[in-house]
A = this chain, B = another copy of it.
Amino acid sequence: MRARDPQRVVTVTDIANAIGVSRATVSLVLRDSPLVHADTRARVEAELKRQRYVYNRGAANLRRRTSSSVALVINDLSNPFFAEFAAGVDEALGEKGYVTLLGSTGESPERQQAVLASLMEHTPAGVILSPAEGSDAAQLHKVLDTRANVLLFNRELAGADDWGFLGLDNQRGAQLATEHLIALGHRRIAFYGGHADSSSCRQRRAGHARAMKRAGLPVDPSWLIESAPNRLEAAAGTAKLFGDQAPPTAAVCYNDTVALGLMLGLLARGIQPGKGFAVTGFDDIPEAAVTTPPLTTLAVNPRERGRQAAQLVLAQLAEGTAPDRTIAPVTLSVRESSGAALK
């Protein structure tokens, strides 16, 4: 954190002195006050331009006790789901005159604490946080004041009811995928991947269970298979599907990454995804459309979710409304990985 160029910077005082008005008058012009005489305003504006004045929003924020930034803390931008989400957040914030302060946790609760502490020093007007796996609400409260304007995204957190929440309709999504497979004739459908202790995995599992129950289909416990949500582990776990004498013929996967891993694992066993075994994902990342075969999955429209998150956090600010719990819809996008109707 080195000093900036200490070169002279043009301030309201310079403008005021140059044309013989007070700093207050210049400030009023900058803030578009109707109190200033049109002539005076014109002279001030001309001088602002002439001296290439740049407003110092930090100084103004300090004096007014306002903020024009919102912190966005996510796992990692290299995940296209979060990249799209961040793009949506930034877009919507920009429209309202706010700037996005970026932070990433890399799924580490410790890094998350450090990143949030650092961002809080920049006095953001709000914080949009997709909590790292294993986050602890008590720890977060230490660094994010209760009064802070926080919106949690994507991952539910026990003990964080004083903050807003925006989530996806995980249960309904998994239910849609499962119903789709059932309609194609599948009876033995696994739920594959994710950590059973994460809220999103629990909810997706519940959707799967619900669809099966509604169709009067039993669920063998061996069909509920955990796996870290990355391609490698998902591929490595493929064998767990085929231990039984009557193995599943399809799997609803925790997310697209897991589904892509599973498809690799199937191929390694000589099974054609979409032919010998049906697979669905969750998220609709860009890769989903171009894999072989293309992946049936649940579209969540992360960019729109980002815009929504920005709006929610600004609304909390403006109206001082009680932080809300918002659930966004998801839609099934059918492609070839779920295959044709079963033989």
Interfacial residues, chain A to chain B (CB-CB below 8 A): 1-7, 52, 54-59, 61-62, 64-69, 72, 76-78, 80, 83-84, 86-87, 90-91, 94, 96-104, 115, 118-123, 125, 145, 147, 149, 260, 286-287, 290-292, 303, 314, 317-318, 320
Contact = CB atoms under 8 A, between A and B. Distances in A.
6 closest cross-chain pairs (CB), A and B = A83-B83, A77-B87, A57-B121, A100-B102, A292-B292, A77-B83
A319 to B, nearest CB: 9
A149 B340 CA distance: 58
Choose among A1, A100, A115 the residue with the greatest number of B CB atoms under 10 Å from its CB.
A1
B80 A286 contact: yes
A205 to B, nearest CB: 27
B100 A101 contact: yes
A314 B102 CA distance: 18
B66 A3 contact: yes
Copies of the chain in the assembly: 2
A298 to B, nearest CB: 19
Choose among A4, A7, A303 the residue with the greatest number of B CB atoms under 10 Å from its CB.
A4
Contact of A87 (B52, B78, B87, B292): B78
29 contacts: A1-B67, A1-B98, A2-B66, A4-B123, A4-B149, A5-B149, A5-B320, A6-B65, A54-B120, A55-B121, A56-B62, A57-B121, A58-B62, A59-B62, A69-B122, A77-B77, A77-B90, A78-B84, A80-B80, A80-B83, A86-B102, A90-B103, A94-B104, A99-B122, A100-B101, A100-B102, A100-B103, A287-B287, A290-B292
A98 B118 CA distance: 9
Nearest to A114: B94
A61 B121 CA distance: 11
A102 B121 contact: no
A4 B65 contact: yes
Contacts of A59: 62
Nearest to A7: B147
Choose among A57, A97, A292 the residue with the greatest number of B CB atoms under 10 Å from its CB.
A57
Contact of A122 (B57, B76, B314, B318): B57
Nearest to A231: B290
A4 B83 contact: no
Contacts of A123: 4, 56-58
A121 B290 contact: no
A78 B304 CA distance: 12
A319 B4 CA distance: 11
Nearest to A294: B292
Nearest to A60: B121
Given A66-B2, A318-B2, A87 B98 contact: no
A27 to B, nearest CB: 15
A332 B91 CA distance: 35
Contacts of A2: 66, 125, 314, 317-318
A86 B77 contact: yes
A3 B260 CA distance: 46
Nearest to A86: B77
